[in-house]
Structure 1
């Protein structure tokens, strides 16, 4: 079943048991990314500060194209960093850590695809009169991305920051 906007690549005559899939989606329907980021710097002392941030963003692909192995869901996260001044210059190095949580989301419908039908069809010797032949011939006897997904991403960052005005030196 092809979704509108998706492009399929089919390798004709490829053995179904090969390591390559005979059919794959080349285009997953990318869409615009919407979100917001907010950052603030907390100055504890003249030589100690912390950068705190938070963000939230939308998925970059349509719901039916989301996959668990890709970063495709709604995302919320926090970032923490500590600015370190390089000598007496206005240049700062900010090592940081970010934690993003992919909010639980559902994709597809579990009944759309039935990979067990392909196994049963192959075990029946490819008999087109078997009960599973219709599912396989309709392209539904293959793995599905349908399910409920969530996840987390940890990010270590190193940022360079330049300030025209040095905090604490006025």
Structure 2
């Protein structure tokens, strides 16, 4: 059980439209959203920084960043949600998911751009700083707007994992865990 009582239906007026849009027929919105929604300020900050809108980074690359970040920090909740909702849509197969979950994700048969992307995620998580050479490597494949998005995704999902861990939010039923 989570550490605070999640919202239940009917959802508060200020959040009802957003939460109802995320609610499957006959069910509840995902637990993460129902927990964050208990604080209107936290919800507004979450929605404002979520980066799941159509941004400068193509959806497949966005999901590679999220999967790699989730794998590296042990964020089973986010891994499971994104594997369920986005992997197939982004043509990220089981072998690639397994590679993303390993310590050296560069061995996944990726394109040169994907390899640079995954290496950048790892460096950001390990050091929070890119050397000139590392920046040049990612800049060979992505625009400055896309690089901002990559950095913000890594930071956002790292912060989200802290929320999930603090409030002990368990993965949604039926979602997969990070491959061992």
- Same fold per TM (> 0.5)? no
Compare the two structures and name the one with the higher strand fraction.
1
| TM-score normalized with structure 2 length | 0.21
| TM-score normalized with structure 1 length | 0.21
Higher relative contact order (CA 8 A, sep 6+): 2
Compare the two structures and name the one with the higher helix fraction.
2
